Amino acid sequence: MAGLGNIPPDLREAARVDGANSWQVLRQITWPLLKPITLVVLLLGTIEAFKMFQPAFLLVGPVGGAGNAANTLGLYLFSEGFSTDPHDGRGAAISVVLFALVFIISIVQLRISRRGVETVD
């Protein structure tokens, strides 16, 4: 909603005066101006998905469920780093791998999504 609120109504009004219908206004004005917000939401959602820990921990505990079916990278990091027999080095290595994975995916998403991003001054 904040992204839609930042689009000046003058742009939509000018498009209407020029004869654009609702679909053309959405496709040519609204969506291109919402691309930066969409990029941020997509990036934060991806990062949050990799950090998922609490739902899996609450449902199956630190063991990852039957046959590790619900084991996530965050849950595996917790079980290796903070279990009754902690493996600090393994937990640290998992956290570095998690960081590198999220960093690489974020860079790829930024490079793909930044093409054609427009701003309103």
pLDDT, tens digit, for every residue of 31-63? Answer: 888 888 888 888 888 888 887 778 878 888 777
What does the alpha-carbon distance between residue 118 and residue 102 come to, in Å, rounded to a whole number? 26
pTM: 0.63
pLDDT averaged over every residue in the chain? 81
Percent of the chain surpassing pLDDT 90: 3
Q: Indicate the DSSP class of residue 61.
A: G
Give the position of tokens 């839609």.
4
- Quick one: pLDDT at residue 81? 82
Assess whether pLDDT exceeds 80 at residue 120: no
Residue 121: alpha-carbon gap to chain centroid = 26
